[in-house]
Copies of this chain bind each other. A is one copy, B any other.
Amino acid sequence: MSTSLKIYDTTLRDGTQGEGISFSVTDKLLIAQKLDQFGVDYIEGGFPGSNPRDISFFAEAKKLKLTHAKLAAFGATRRAGVKPEEDAQLRTLIESEMPVLTIVGKTWLMHVHEILRTTPEENLAMIEDSVRYLVAQGREVIYDAEHFFDGYLDNSDYALRTLEAAARGGASNLTLCETNGGKLVPEVHKIAAAAVARFGRDKVGVHCHNDSGLGVAVTLAGVDAGASLVQGTMNGYGERVGNANLVTLLPNLFLKMGRTANCAKNLKELRDLSLFFDELANLRPNPKAPFVGQSAFAHKGGLHANAAQKVARSYEHIDPALVGNRTRVLVSDMAGRTSLTLKARELGIELDERLPAMKGLIDELKEREFRGYEYEAADASFRLLIAKWLGQQKTFFDVENYRVIIERHNNQIWSEATVKLTVNGEAMHTVAEASGPVGALDKALRLALAKAYPQLQTMSLRDYKVRILESNQGAGSRTRVLIESGNGKKIWGTVGVSDNIIDASWEALRDSVEYMLMQS
């Protein structure tokens, strides 16, 4: 039995139909290259007949030098009663110049009647003609059978005939789509097996949705039944509850079902890949994502400090390193010195558990975390806290006050910040302006320190994230700000929490500057 699969990524097409997901053409090109590096076999880049922006994408994409993946453009079968060569939508597909063209067609007779408003026979001709026409243009054609499982349950004979029509036309793969995400595992297995029995493993694929919370499970069932092409999206992006999540599918397929694919060799990049997509999509990574989530292998301290290696591993279903993740020790209200030591070691700091300062540090950490501080992405703030308790903290400057003014006048918006501080005994009072208040504050602060600490010139704000912690407190909500700074060589993160969004930003900015000074 062949264990080799083709992985077909539709993040850039089906994935973008999800609420809140929007990629620019530049994003999409970056994504295509990233997916190619990771090793997927197909990248469905868009729907040119529906999305003008995708036409621009394909115009640029055809210049990409991909190492393995084949780019696909998505479309539909020709319209009823129209010759394929006269169908505008098929023409946009051809004009995309993509080597692979994936077209969706109707399987369910109700849709043939009510949506296409045509006859069952014409629908079969639409499928066969369209596939044949595109194949004749020298493209690989994949056929997506919409609502295949519902259509099969309604009329299994007709459903299989739609696949036959596509096969006759020369489709390289017949992908069974579980379009409304409602089927359970046994049904999907049975129906997929019927298609595999008729057309062979090499010819059948699955494309499922997560409406019943079973997107991954039914896809695995399809593979178990013999399907050799798997469609899905990164992080399960997609309409409604999303498409089958490739990030969850791949480890299950490669580590537990004995399957392989070109990207299997890069499985340890999975966590980074998942984070890359959330970053670009500007979504908060799901800490509870299977395999790659921050909590996926997060255990309470006692387990690992106390249990033998072998036994500790039995509590984890896989070795987290295989997907680029790691075991984490939770600093929870059950955590003690051992957890903190492990946590510090994670950052390369060796803490002596027996130090009296440890208790104070743990207490402050718990209190801060209770107030909303989060140190996972703010290693520099965490190090400053440790330095303080180890008596290693230096005072680089003394801030007396700051003021930020935001003014809107005649539809112009303007921000000015002033900072007053003492450094090396000298009083500095600076002002700066920027489009936004935090930018202005950042500039004013570094201006005030420029003379005493010229190395701050190389420092810049790279990333700025805001999270309202208790949004239902209206505008008085506690806010957490995470800042990422860099100096061209290193990158570090800091955090600030306050009811005042500017003050939270100030705190993170201050930590960032102090950290850089501590390092130099």
Given A50-B302, A295-B19, A435-B499: A257 and B184 within 8 A (CB)?
Answer: yes
Is residue A51 contacting chain B, with contact meaning CB distance below 8 A?
Answer: yes
| Contact present for B20 and A376 (CB under 8 Å) | yes
A342 to B334, CA, bound (A): 50
Is residue A68 contacting chain B, with contact meaning CB distance below 8 A?
Answer: no
A189 to chain B, nearest CB (A): 9
Residues of B close to A293: CB separation below 8 A = 241
A108 to B442, CA, bound (A): 54
Return the chain B residue nearest A464 by Cβ. Answer: B475
Within 8 A of B (CB), among A383-409: 399-409
A72 to chain B, nearest CB (A): 18
Within 8 A of B (CB), among A450-481: 460-472, 474-477, 479
A182 to B184, CA, bound (A): 20
Residues of B close to A257: CB separation below 8 A = 184
Residues of B close to A108: CB separation below 8 A = 314
Within 8 A of B (CB), among A49-97: 50-51, 53
| Contact present for B474 and A439 (CB under 8 Å) | yes
Given A185-B185, A298-B19: A436 and B240 within 8 A (CB)?
Answer: no
A401 to B182, CA, bound (A): 54
A335 to chain B, nearest CB (A): 11
Residues of B close to A182: CB separation below 8 A = 256, 317-318
A151 to chain B, nearest CB (A): 10
A493 to B240, CA, bound (A): 21
| Contact present for B413 and A403 (CB under 8 Å) | no
| Contact present for B475 and A316 (CB under 8 Å) | no
A319 to chain B, nearest CB (A): 11
Residues of B close to A173: CB separation below 8 A = none
Residues of B close to A317: CB separation below 8 A = 180-182, 211-212
Is residue A200 contacting chain B, with contact meaning CB distance below 8 A?
Answer: no
| Contact present for A436 and B500 (CB under 8 Å) | yes
A179 to chain B, nearest CB (A): 7
Residues of B close to A439: CB separation below 8 A = 474-476
A438 to B292, CA, bound (A): 37
Residues of B close to A252: CB separation below 8 A = 184, 212-214
Return the chain B residue nearest A407 by Cβ. Answer: B403
A302 to B104, CA, bound (A): 14
Residues of B close to A408: CB separation below 8 A = 399, 401-403, 503, 506
Interface stretch (choices A130-138, A157-165, A260-268, A281-289): A281-289
Is residue A355 contacting chain B, with contact meaning CB distance below 8 A?
Answer: no
Partner of A240, one of B20, B299, B311, B464: B299
Partner of A19, one of B150, B212, B287, B290: B287
A293 to chain B, nearest CB (A): 6
Q: Copy number of this protein in the oligomer?
A: 2
Is residue A148 contacting chain B, with contact meaning CB distance below 8 A?
Answer: no
Residues of B close to A464: CB separation below 8 A = 468, 471, 474-475, 477
A498 to chain B, nearest CB (A): 7
Within 8 A of B (CB), among A416-464: 434-439, 442, 460-464
Given A110-B310, A210-B290, A406-B500: A461 and B474 within 8 A (CB)?
Answer: yes
Give the interface centre of A216, A217, A298, A404 by most chain B CB atoms within 10 Å.
Answer: A217
Residues of B close to A221: CB separation below 8 A = 185
Is residue A123 contacting chain B, with contact meaning CB distance below 8 A?
Answer: no
| Contact present for B462 and A474 (CB under 8 Å) | yes
Residues of B close to A442: CB separation below 8 A = 475
Return the chain B residue nearest A24 by Cβ. Answer: B370
Is residue A111 contacting chain B, with contact meaning CB distance below 8 A?
Answer: yes
Residues of B close to A195: CB separation below 8 A = none
A152 to chain B, nearest CB (A): 14
A307 to B106, CA, bound (A): 14
Residues of B close to A403: CB separation below 8 A = 405-408
| Contact present for B468 and A465 (CB under 8 Å) | yes
Given A184-B256, A466-B501, A469-B282: A114 and B311 within 8 A (CB)?
Answer: yes
A333 to B46, CA, bound (A): 14
Residues of B close to A315: CB separation below 8 A = 179-180
Top 3 nearest A-B pairs by Cβ distance?
A182-B317, A217-B217, A461-B474
25 A-B Cβ contacts within 8 A?
A17-B301, A18-B295, A111-B311, A111-B314, A114-B307, A114-B308, A180-B315, A210-B290, A213-B245, A214-B220, A236-B288, A240-B297, A240-B298, A240-B299, A241-B293, A282-B467, A401-B407, A403-B406, A404-B405, A404-B406, A405-B405, A413-B503, A435-B476, A460-B474, A466-B479
